[in-house]
Chain A
Amino acid sequence: MKFLFKLFIVLSFHFGLKAQNVDFKSSNFKTDKEGFKKAEAAIEQGNVYFDKGTKLLFEVKDVKGNFHFALKSYEIAQAFNPSNALLNFKIGACYFNNLNYDKALTFLLKAKELDPNCDPFLNYYLGRMSQLEGKLEEALSYYTKFTVEYKKATEFTKFIDQRKKECENAKKLMTSPLRVWVDNVPELNSDKDDITPTISVDGGDMLFSSKRKNEHLMDSIGEYDFEIYSSTMEKGNWSAPKKLIGDINTNVDDVVNTISYDGTMLLMHRSVNNQSDIFESKLLGANWSTPEKMNANISNPKYNDRFACYNHTGYKIYFIRDNEEAENGYQAVYSGMESKLRRDYATTTFLDVLNSKFNEGPMYITIKGDVLYLASQGHGSMGGYDIFISKFVQGQWTAPVNLGYPINSPYDDFFYSPTVNGKFAYITSNRPGGAGGYDIYKVTYWGADKTPIVSTEDFLISSVLQPVNDNAIESKVDVTRKFLTVFKGNTIDLLNSQPVGATIEITDNATGKVIETFKSNSATGKFIITLPSGKNYGIAVKAENYLFHSENFDLPDGGEDNIVSKTIQLKNVAVGNTITLTNIFFDLGKATLRMESNAELDRLVKLLNDAPKLKIEIAGHTDNTGSAAMNENLSQQRAIAVVAYLLSKGINSTRLTAKGYGSKRPIASNETEVGRQQNRRTEFKITSNS
């Protein structure tokens, strides 16, 4: 139930919104007959202008203010009855011809909604709107529909054919757009028409015309007259436009056409009471002179003459001309002069190749004279005025070629003013996105198509990837530290400490070799030498009448504490003195003398030889390790071994005795290893010295 109710509401709403065509019949407005009469009268008045405008339109004439006036009347009727299809169509058509396309579309669509058959030209205008929107296929179908459905369509074949061609041209041109940017120039444009941006050849100065608000009165359709403004390029932007002072601007339309190449003259046209003529002004100092109307061959009262330009020689003026009899609207003509002094411009010549069946527009000839830019509604336009290019080849202008999209668009695009280097140009267009009305646009050419590049890379040389480097370095070296230690000392008498001059031998115990032999000072007993550090040495000292002295010592490693001092106390060779032979070595637990003992024993041999009267007892001692008997026997055997060595060296046996004391005569404690080592010793005792 609820669903049905909702459906009812939706359908009611839908059908309620569906607009219905309300004819202007008195029966439809019984309650407001007065209003109806006024509306009907307004329509009637509007139709007069509308029909006049339409006639002019299809005669390729200036529609003047007809559609504006028609619109004013129609709006009265529209306020009374907004639901009449035909009125909506006509209002849409007025807006279209007044170049207000947004509003045109609204009313045309409304008309179509109310009654698509309200007027055969509805399809034509809808086609125009679709064309402007770039919906080219849709536009084509509207034009076809117009042709099919309108009995008198053949009378408009010229226009329908042109519109269809425009659609085809647009399709073609839009598929290969030019390499340009077309940018609105906001600093120059107003919400009114801003047209004819003519620039100096260096592109630094510009004159243009604008319908922006000025001090004059508005005309009957609410517009100000065209005035000429100037602007200068400053740091890449155009300066704020300034209206030219002097008589160049009047209270009628003053439209600048072109500046001469040297910038000293300009051409302009003025329109007074629908009659336009061409004028020329000269630059006097900073101001432009009062414009002078060109002679009657150029500014002819029978014609409308406008949009003039100089040719490159300065002897010709190109412009467009129109009159009531002309079938194809404004046509391109030129007039030449024989003398620049007399300025005797001759009869005009029509530029047949440049002229189409529709209006031609402003022209511009390059400074070289080889290229002419022309605006035209005909030729290969893609809609409205387009800009075309023609070249001067073998004394003739070539057929105009559309300059291309997006310089041209389905809207009006005209007036082409290039810089001398051809990189920039200024045009006028009413394409969407502008400030309002016609605007000035800057065309920037990108130049030739630019191709991005790719690069390849190689390792052409193997060594980049696989370096062939000889990075073999030198080998390691042995590191040895050979430090020296200062070995100093003195030899003194043990008993009285008097210096004793003695002979000293230093033996490297590791090699058994005597490495130094020297004498201590006889007066002071001092000696000083250097020895390699970190070794064990034997020192043997002997002096006459003193017992031979020997001992071992270590010199510390390193070079920091590099001095060792030693005082050697020598014993007089007195009977009863006992001397320990510290460098006598036996095999462990045996009485076998080891080789390292030879140096010490040889010194004893020498002592005995040196002191031939000396008789000694060789005494062997042990520590208390083991049995006393064993120790006694070992010490006895070791004493005998020493005696045997001495005998082997030629010492008389009468001078020698051997005695083993075992552990009976310790000189140190047997409780410690150090003590036991000291107790294990070989001594000799002087038993006689006479």
Chain B
Amino acid sequence: MKKTLLFSLLSLLVGNYFAQVETLSLKEKAFKDSIAQINEAANASAEGKEAYNRGISLFSEKKTLDAIKEFEKAIVSDPKFLAAYFNKGVAENELGMYLASASTLNKLISIDSTYNKAYFQRARAFQGLNEFDAAEKNYEKALVFDPNNVKVIYNYGVLRFMQKEYKDAIIKFSKCIQIDPTSAYYYNDRGSCYRMLGDLPKALVEYEEATKRNSNLAFVYNNIGTTKKKMKDYPGAILAFNKAISVDSKFHMAYVNRGATYFTQGKNNEAEKDFNQAIQIAPNYSPAYANLASILIAKKDFQKALENADIAISIDKYNSTAYLNRGIAKEMLRDMKGACEDWFKAKELGVELGKNYFTTNCNN
């Protein structure tokens, strides 16, 4: 009673008071609810933006999968959040999730077809999916917006290379060189186009140009080596592989290629050493095991050859060399059925010798 009286007195003295409304009329309640909805929407939008910003931070920290999840949250919060779509698409490309990326960027472009950066990213995604025609269209579209974007031109050139359109790829890489003549990469890739066109001397010239621009690219020396091997310049090839290894002593591919060159020269001990070195550096490098199997076959150690070919195939089920060699090992170990299966597989993977062995040995 005393408390009530005091409260009334205070109210009189203060003259007014605030209070949370406990009972509302229907209209007031409806009004309040409508405002609550607006607030919820505002909150969701803010949370979406926060997720988007977190996604950017995670992406910069290379936590790309986590970044994708945050961008997805942002999109759920705001289905028209274009930047979130774009970033998600880029992140998915980075992880090789090309199908997801293409889908994300499809949505973005369906919302805003003028979002020009999205076309380049979508081209990357389609390229990753081996949908070369679609990739091509997207590169073309990206170039409409930005005709001198060297990254777009370069990737378009790579696409044309993958499509075996080497002459067109040369045009693209030449344009890249025109824009940025200091890059070794464009010369290397143009050299590879010439190589694929069978113009090996010209390929070598381009590779040499690449090394002049950057003498620390082991893979370029490796390309020189394999090109010289194709030209049957084995000493030259060995020198190039040596150079590649001197630039990068852990470049397992150069060891394998040098070993293959030694094998061609009949220097099996040197070859074996190189294949083993490659395996030591890169225990999951399938060609090293497949090539080592060749040496072991030559040494008539068919059981070990079989074991190495097995490893090569367990790492890469499309290693045609391993299938062919394993077939030989199996034949010598009296597993003719297995040998025929392996030669058939090698044949399917495009090895002419596999076709020959299968045809002459496995057709009763």
**Contacts from A to B (Cβ < 8 Å):** 181, 421, 423, 446-448, 450-463, 465-466, 468-486, 488, 494, 528, 530, 533, 549, 551, 553, 559-569, 571, 667
User: 0/1 per residue, B235-264, Cβ < 8 Å to A?
Assistant: 000000000000000000100110111011
For window 316-364 of B, CB contacts with A under 8 Å fall at 320-321, 324-325, 328, 331-332, 334, 351, 353, 357, 360-361, 364
8 contacts between A and B (CB under 8 A): A447-B360, A452-B328, A458-B223, A459-B223, A469-B94, A551-B16, A559-B43, A563-B21
Q: Which residues of A contact B152 (CB under 8 A)?
A: 470
CB of A599 to closest CB in B, whole Å: 18
Question: Among A446, A473, A530, A566, which residue has its beta carbon within 8 angstroms of that of B90?
Answer: A473
User: 0/1 per residue, B1-44, Cβ < 8 Å to A?
Assistant: 00000000001110111111100100010011001101110110
The 4 A-B pairs with the shortest beta carbon distances in the complex, nearest first, are A559-B39, A462-B185, A452-B294, A460-B192
CB of A295 to closest CB in B, whole Å: 39
Nearest A residue (CB) for B13? A667
A interface SS class = loop
CA distance A659 to B336 in the complex (A): 120
Q: Which residues of A contact B284 (CB under 8 A)?
A: none
Q: Which residues of B contact A551 (CB under 8 A)?
A: 16
B174 within 8 Å of A (CB atoms): no
Nearest A residue (CB) for B52? A477
For window 194-251 of B, CB contacts with A under 8 Å fall at 195-196, 217, 219, 222-223, 226, 229
Assuming A452-B324, A562-B39, is B53 touching A476 (CB within 8 A)?
yes
CB of B176 to closest CB in A, whole Å: 9
Question: Among A450, A553, A571, which residue has its beta carbon within 8 angstroms of that of B15?
Answer: A571
Assuming A470-B151, A486-B31, A494-B15, is B351 touching A453 (CB within 8 A)?
yes
Question: Among B15, B43, B290, B291, which residue has its beta carbon within 8 angstroms of that of A481?
Answer: B43
B124 and A494 form a contact (CB under 8 A): no
CA distance A560 to B43 in the complex (A): 10
B36 and A562 form a contact (CB under 8 A): yes
CB of A2 to closest CB in B, whole Å: 53
B87 and A461 form a contact (CB under 8 A): no
B49 within 8 Å of A (CB atoms): yes
B59 within 8 Å of A (CB atoms): yes
Assuming A181-B334, A447-B361, A473-B90, is B16 touching A569 (CB within 8 A)?
yes
Q: A460-B223, A468-B151, A486-B35 are in contact. List 15 more A-B contacts (CB 8 A).
A: A446-B331, A452-B297, A453-B351, A455-B320, A457-B257, A459-B223, A460-B195, A462-B184, A470-B121, A473-B86, A480-B46, A486-B31, A559-B36, A566-B18, A569-B15
CA distance A480 to B40 in the complex (A): 13
Question: Among A446, A465, A473, which residue has its beta carbon within 8 angstroms of that of B59?
Answer: A473
B50 within 8 Å of A (CB atoms): yes
B105 within 8 Å of A (CB atoms): no
Assuming A447-B361, A469-B94, A473-B86, is B351 touching A479 (CB within 8 A)?
no
Question: Among B21, B320, B360, which residue has its beta carbon within 8 angstroms of that of A488?
Answer: B21
B53 and A477 form a contact (CB under 8 A): yes
Q: Which residues of A contact B35 (CB under 8 A)?
A: 484-486, 530, 562-563
Task: Give the bracket for the number of chain B residues in contact with chain A.
Answer: 35 or more
CA distance A482 to B38 in the complex (A): 9
B151 and A528 form a contact (CB under 8 A): no
B52 and A463 form a contact (CB under 8 A): no
Question: Among B16, B36, B297, which residue has its beta carbon within 8 angstroms of that of A568?
Answer: B16
Question: Among A465, A471, A559, which residue has its beta carbon within 8 angstroms of that of B93?
Answer: A471
CA distance A181 to B334 in the complex (A): 9
CA distance A560 to B290 in the complex (A): 67
Q: Which residues of A contact B129 (CB under 8 A)?
A: none
Question: Among B21, B40, B297, which residue has its beta carbon within 8 angstroms of that of A559?
Answer: B40
For window 51-82 of B, CB contacts with A under 8 Å fall at 52-53, 56, 59
Assuming A463-B155, A569-B16, is B223 touching A481 (CB within 8 A)?
no
A455 and B16 form a contact (CB under 8 A): no
For window 266-325 of B, CB contacts with A under 8 Å fall at 271, 287, 290-291, 293-294, 297-298, 305, 320-321, 324-325
Nearest A residue (CB) for B89? A473
CB of B179 to closest CB in A, whole Å: 13
For window 86-108 of B, CB contacts with A under 8 Å fall at 86-87, 90-91, 93-94
Question: Among A460, A468, A528, A562, which residue has its beta carbon within 8 angstroms of that of B28?
Answer: A528
CB of A509 to closest CB in B, whole Å: 16
Nearest A residue (CB) for B192? A460
B143 within 8 Å of A (CB atoms): no
CB of B265 to closest CB in A, whole Å: 11
CA distance A570 to B142 in the complex (A): 69
Question: Among B21, B259, B331, which residue has its beta carbon within 8 angstroms of that of A565?
Answer: B21
B256 and A456 form a contact (CB under 8 A): yes
B257 and A456 form a contact (CB under 8 A): yes
A453 and B353 form a contact (CB under 8 A): yes
B56 and A473 form a contact (CB under 8 A): yes
B19 and A565 form a contact (CB under 8 A): yes
CA distance A470 to B158 in the complex (A): 14
CB of B210 to closest CB in A, whole Å: 8
Assuming A457-B287, A471-B94, A559-B42, is B20 touching A565 (CB within 8 A)?
yes
Nearest B residue (CB) for A421? B364
CA distance A456 to B222 in the complex (A): 10
CB of A542 to closest CB in B, whole Å: 14
Q: Which residues of B contact A481 (CB under 8 A)?
A: 42-43, 46
Question: Among B15, B121, B185, B287, which residue has its beta carbon within 8 angstroms of that of A466?
Answer: B185
Nearest B residue (CB) for A470? B151
Question: Among A463, A485, A567, which residue has its beta carbon within 8 angstroms of that of B16?
Answer: A567
B136 within 8 Å of A (CB atoms): no
